[in-house]
C-alpha cells in the first residue's frame, strides 16, 4: 500500500478566486438571496485549513418561507410551456458541461473526490439535465377504448406539486441533478436541501439553473442542519413529496414523518453490496473490478463492492491479486496529479472508518492497509483496507462502513456464494464474475438486489437507466431515467363521452 500522499497547488491560485474564507453564500428563497447570522465553514478534506467559504444555515422560518415560495410558483410552473422547460434544462446541461473543469475542481476541493472522478460526476450531471430536458416533451399518456360503448379513456401524468429534495455529500452534484432535473421536467417546484458538508456544489448548480432562465420560486435552496430543514419538509402541509438519499437511520425517520403527514416519499439508503468471484472467472479482470468498486471515490459510494465473496479454489490467488493492485493506489490530495484515492470526507467519517477496521481485527479479521496516511496537511487520508479471514456474520460484513474498506468472505461454491450475497438487510447492487452462462443467468435472477452486474464493478450506473434497490436499500419508486416519472407525477384517468 503506497503511503505517499500527493499535494495540490496553492488552493487560492488553483481554484476560482470567488472561493475563500471571506466568501459568503446565501440561501435562495423565491428568487431572492437570503443570508443568516449562523453560517457554516466549508472545509477541504484534503487540507482542512483551506476554507472555501461561509454558507448560510436556514432556520425554521426560512425553510417555511422557501416552501411557501415553491407553493406560490407551483401553478405557474406546471403550466409553463413544455418547450420552454426543455430550453431551460437543456441550457443548464450545456452550462454544466462548459464549466466542467471549474465545477470538478470545486467538487474535489469540498468533497475530496479525485479530480478525474469529480469531472466525470459533473459531466454525468450535464447528461442528466439533457436527458430530462427531452422528457419534458416526451411526457406521453395513453388513450384506450373503454369497455363501455361510446366512452374513451385517457391516462395522463400531471405534476405532483412541491417536492422537498434532501441529498447526501458523496455525490454533491450528480445526485441533486438526478432529483432536481426530473422534478422540474415534469412541472414540479422544488425546495432543495444539500448535505452540510458540500454546500458549494449545490450553490453552483442552483446558480446555473437561475442563469439558464428558471423563474423565481421554482427552485429554492435551503442550506442547514437536517434536524431543522428536514423537519419542515417532512411535516409541512404545503409539501407534496420528499425524496431523500442518505443513511438508513435518517431515511427511516424521513419515511415515518412524511408518511404520517400524507407526503409521498422516496428514499435511497445505502447498501452492503456483494461481488461474487467464481473459480472460472477472469481473475485479473475481477480484481480490477473489485478494486474499482471497493476503493474508488474513497469507497464512499452506496454501490461500493464492500463484500467480496470468493470460492475456495481461487481464494488465495485472488486475494494476492487484490493486494498487488491495492499497492499501486496512491492516496493523496484530491486535486493532485497522480492521486487515485482522495481523502475521507470528514474527520468524523474517518474516525468511523477506523473504528470499523479496529472492530474487524477484534473479531478475527486480518487487515491489510487501513492506516492513516501523512499527506503533509491535517487531511483525512486513509489507505484502502482489505479485511480477509472474515465470517459472514462479522460486523464488517453486516454494517455499511462507507469508506475505503472491503472484506473478503471465502465460500465453497456458487450455491454458498449466492446465499452469502443475499444474507444482508440491504439490496442495492450485486455483482458476479464468471465465464459460466449458467451461473450468470441464475445470479441475475436470484440475486436480491435492484441492480445486478455481470463481469463488471458493482458501482456505476448510466444516466438513462433506472436506479434503486430492494429490502433496506430503497423505499418508493425508482430514480433516474423514465422510471423517475412514477414518483414526480400523479396519474389521471379521464373518460370522454363524445355523445
Render pLDDT for 143-187 as a digit per residue (tens, 0 to 9).
999 999 999 999 999 999 999 999 999 999 999 999 999 999 999
Whether 8 has a pLDDT exceeding 90, the answer reads: no
Torsion sign across C-alpha atoms 121, 123, 124, 129: positive
Q: What CA–CA distances, in Å, run from 149 to 153, 388, 421?
A: 11, 69, 53
**Three-state DSSP class for residue 291:** helix
Task: Select which of 135, 302, 400, 479 is catalytic.
Answer: 302
Q: What CA–CA distances, in Å, run from 186 to 207, 216, 220, 264?
A: 21, 17, 17, 16
For 311, phi then psi, to 5°, come to -75, 150
Per the DSSP assignment, residues forming a β-bridge with 391 are none
Neighbours of 85 (CB within 10 A): 23
User: Given the DSSP bridges, would you call strands 241-245 and 162-166 parallel, antiparallel or unpaired?
Assistant: parallel
Q: What is the pLDDT of residue 17?
A: 59
pLDDT tens, residue by residue, 238-292: 999 999 999 999 999 999 999 999 999 999 999 999 999 999 999 999 999 999 9
In 184-315, which ranges are E strands? 189-193, 219-221, 241-245, 264-268, 274-277, 307-311
Residues whose CB is less than 8 angstroms from the CB of residue 124 and which lie 6 or more positions away in sequence, other chains included: 174, 177, 463
Task: Select which of 121, 135, 268, 479 is catalytic.
Answer: 268
Active site residue 302: yes
**Three-state DSSP class for residue 128:** helix
Place of cell 405557474: 76
Residues whose CB is less than 8 angstroms from the CB of residue 86 and which lie 6 or more positions away in sequence, other chains included: 133, 134, 136, 137
Active site residue 203: no
pLDDT tens, residue by residue, 367-381: 999 999 999 999 999
Cβ atoms of 329 and 2 closer than 8 Å: yes
Distance in angstroms (rounded) separating the CA atoms of residues 310 and 319: 9
Distance in angstroms (rounded) separating the CA atoms of residues 67 and 3: 48
Amino acid at each position: 500500500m503506497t503511503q505517499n500522499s500527493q499535494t495540490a497547488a496553492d488552493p487560492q491560485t488553483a481554484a476560482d478566486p470567488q472561493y475563500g474564507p471571506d466568501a459568503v453564500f446565501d440561501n435562495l428563497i423565491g428568487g431572492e438571496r437570503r443570508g443568516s447570522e449562523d453560517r457554516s465553514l466549508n472545509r477541504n478534506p484534503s487540507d482542512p485549513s483551506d476554507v472555501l467559504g461561509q454558507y448560510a444555515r436556514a432556520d425554521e422560518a426560512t425553510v417555511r418561507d422557501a416552501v411557501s415560495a415553491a407553493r406560490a410558483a407551483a401553478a405557474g410552473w406546471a403550466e409553463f410551456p413544455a418547450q420552454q422547460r426543455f430550453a431551460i434544462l437543456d441550457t443548464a446541461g450545456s452550462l454544466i458541461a462548459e464549466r466542467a473543469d471549474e465545477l470538478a475542481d470545486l467538487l474535489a476541493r469540498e468533497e475530496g473526490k479525485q479530480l478525474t472522478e469529480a469531472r466525470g460526476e459533473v459531466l454525468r450531471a450535464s447528461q442528466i439535465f439533457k436527458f430530462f430536458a427531452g422528457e419534458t416533451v416526451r411526457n406521453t399518456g395513453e388513450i384506450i377504448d373503454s369497455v363501455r360503448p361510446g366512452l374513451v379513456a385517457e391516462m395522463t401524468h400531471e405534476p405532483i406539486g412541491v417536492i422537498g429534495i434532501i441529498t447526501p455529500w458523496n455525490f454533491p452534484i450528480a445526485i441533486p441533478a438526478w432529483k432536481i432535473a426530473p422534478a422540474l421536467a415534469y412541472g414540479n417546484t422544488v425546495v432543495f436541501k444539500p448535505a452540510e458538508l458540500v454546500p458549494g456544489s449545490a450553490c453552483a448548480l442552483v446558480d446555473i439553473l437561475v442563469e439558464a432562465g428558471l423563474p423565481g420560486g421554482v427552485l429554492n435552496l435551503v442550506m442547514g442542519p437536517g434536524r431543522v430543514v428536514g423537519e419542515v419538509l417532512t411535516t409541512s402541509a404545503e409539501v407534496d413529496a420528499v425524496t431523500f438519499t442518505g443513511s438508513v437511520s435518517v431515511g427511516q425517520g424521513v419515511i415515518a414523518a412524511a408518511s404520517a403527514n400524507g407526503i409521498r416519499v422516496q428514499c435511497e439508503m445505502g447498501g452492503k453490496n456483494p461481488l461474487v468471484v467464481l473459480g472460472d472467472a477472469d481473475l485479473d479482470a475481477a480484481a480490477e473490478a473489485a478494486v474499482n468498486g471497493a476503493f474508488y471515490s474513497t469507497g464512499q459510494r452506496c454501490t461500493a463492492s464492500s463484500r467480496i465473496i470468493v470460492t475456495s479454489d481461487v481464494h488465495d490467488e485472488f486475494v494476492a491479486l487484490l493486494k498487488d493492485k491495492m499497492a499501486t493506489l496512491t492516496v493523496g490530495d484530491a486535486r493532485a496529479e497522480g492521486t487515485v484515492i482522495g481523502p475521507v470526507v470528514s474527520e468524523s467519517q474517518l474516525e468511523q472508518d477506523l473504528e470499523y477496521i479496529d472492530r474487524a481485527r477484534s473479531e478475527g479479521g486480518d487487515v491489510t492497509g487501513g492506516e492513516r496516511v501523512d499527506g503533509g496537511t491535517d487531511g483525512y487520508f486513509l489507505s484502502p483496507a482489505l479485511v480477509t479471514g472474515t465470517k459472514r456474520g462479522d460486523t464488517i460484513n453486516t454494517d455499511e462502513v462507507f469508506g475505503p474498506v472491503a472484506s473478503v468472505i471465502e465460500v465453497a461454491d456458487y450455491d454458498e456464494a449466492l446465499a452469502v450475497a443475499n444474507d444482508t438487510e440491504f439490496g442495492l447492487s450485486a455483482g458476479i464474475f464468471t465465464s459460466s452462462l449458467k451461473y450468470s443467468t441464475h445470479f441475475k435472477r436470484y440475486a436480491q438486489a435492484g441492480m445486478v452486474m455481470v463481469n463488471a464493478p458493482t458501482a456505476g450506473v448510466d444516466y438513462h437507466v433506472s436506479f434503486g434497490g430492494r429490502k433496506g436499500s430503497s423505499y418508493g419508486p425508482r430514480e433516474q431515467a423514465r422510471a423517475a416519472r412514477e414518483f414526480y407525477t400523479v396519474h389521471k384517468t379521464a373518460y370522454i363521452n363524445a355523445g
